[in-house]
Structure 1
Amino acid sequence: MAKRFAAFEEDHLRLIAEQQMFFVATAAPTGRVNLSPKGMDSLRVTGPNRVIWLNVTGSGNETAGHLRLDPRMTLMWCSFTTRPVILRAYGSARTVHPRDAEWAGFYRLFQPIPGARQIYSLDVDLVQTSCGYAVPFYDHVAERDTLRRWAEPRDEAAMQAYWAEKNAVTLDGFPTGTPK
């Protein structure tokens, strides 16, 4: 059965630490809903009601565009191992770019990742657990290094050119705030 919490509890933090992947969902007031899997060592719970996660360059940039129009965000962790549980964190998020004053303080909480593009800061107003009884078992084999290999040879100018071409607007044409 689903249970609601006002903040993360120790059991939630253990579950998050055990996961190799999490999911993020956002939506603008109109247009498509975006749901994306995220991996790498890119997430930190920095308080009972705060999560930050480092977003790296990808083929799209829906989250940034959506948050400019509507700050709602949901994060989800799903246990694919022994614990049949799904954990969701709901709240309001904002985008922090490398040009922003807060970037350095947040970024130092992570190991550097080539192609780091934004950090999202989520103020959590609801934590919910639900059963994962129908979620299949999966074994984690390894982290992919494809993104690192793609990003490492690119200098800042090449990365910004890619962002301008691929990451400046969402699928629905909303600006993302990523430098052009």
Structure 2
Amino acid sequence: MAKFYSQLTEELQAFIAAQKIFFTATAPTTGRINLSPKGIDTFRCLDATTVAYLDLTGSGNETAAHLQENGRITIMFCSFDEQPLILRLYGMGKTIKPRDRQWQELSLLFPRLPGERQIVILNIESIQTSCGYGVPLYEFKQERQTVINWAKHKGEEKIKQYWQEKNQQSIDGLPTNLLTEIEVNK
């Protein structure tokens, strides 16, 4: 049976802290829906109605483009262990980039990781839990280090070049503004 909440309870925050994976979903007004799995130690509850995650460099930057266009985002957690539960956070989001004033304060909440691209903030409008009875049981083995090793090997300058080539617009052609015009023209 689904339950709705207006804010994260202590129990829901504890559930979030125990999860090793979460999923983000965004969509432009017209175009493709983006659904992405996320992991590593990159998610934080800032308060009962605000959460954030550290976004690492990836092959695309759909979330940033969609948030810039309309702000809508859903984040989902689901338990893969003995106690089933699905938790969805609905709301409006935005990105904080390393050049933004808020970056200095917010980045301190996360581990320093190579390839840090932006922090995604979600202002929660609604929370829903559901049973999760159909979600299979899985045992966590370890965090995958591939994206971290890739970014470490690439280095900061080549990461920025990658952003310019691959992360400046969504697959539907929406801008992400990951880099400023000055950074692009360097």
Shift of residue 112 of structure 1?
A: 0.2
Which whole-Å deviations, capped at 9, do the CAs of 1:1-20 have from their partners, x for residues lacking one? 00000000111111111110
Shift in Å, 1:84: 1.1
User: Could you tell me how far apart the structure 1 residues matched to 2:150 and 2:85 are?
Assistant: 34
Following TM superposition, by how much is the alpha carbon of 1:52 offset from its aligned partner in structure 2, in angstroms?
Answer: 0.8
Q: Which moved more, 1:48-57 or 1:156-165?
A: 156-165
1:11 maps to what in 2? 11
> For 1:54-133, what aligned pairs fall within 5 Å after superposition?
54-133=54-133
Q: In the alignment, is residue 37 of structure 1 matched against residue 37 of structure 2?
A: yes
Task: Tell me how far apart the structure 2 counterparts of residues 24 and 155 of structure 1 sit (CA, whole Å).
Answer: 27
Partner of 1:139 in structure 2? 139
Q: CA deviation at 1:156?
A: 2.3
* 5+ long unaligned stretches in structure 1: none
The RMSD of aligned alpha carbons is 0.8
Cα distance in 2 for residues equivalent to 1:68 and 1:105? 22
Q: Does 1:21 align with 2:21?
A: yes
Unaligned runs of 5+ in 2: none
CA offset digits 1:59-88 (Å, max 9, x no partner): 110000001101011000000001111001
Residues paired across the two proteins, number: 180
TM-score of the superposition, structure 1-length normalised?
Answer: 0.98
Superposition misfits of 4+ residues, deviation over 3 angstroms = none
The one-letter amino acid paired with 1:169 is Q
- Measure, in 2, the Cα distance between the counterparts of 1:156 and 1:14: 34
Indicate the percent of aligned positions where both proteins have the same amino acid. 47
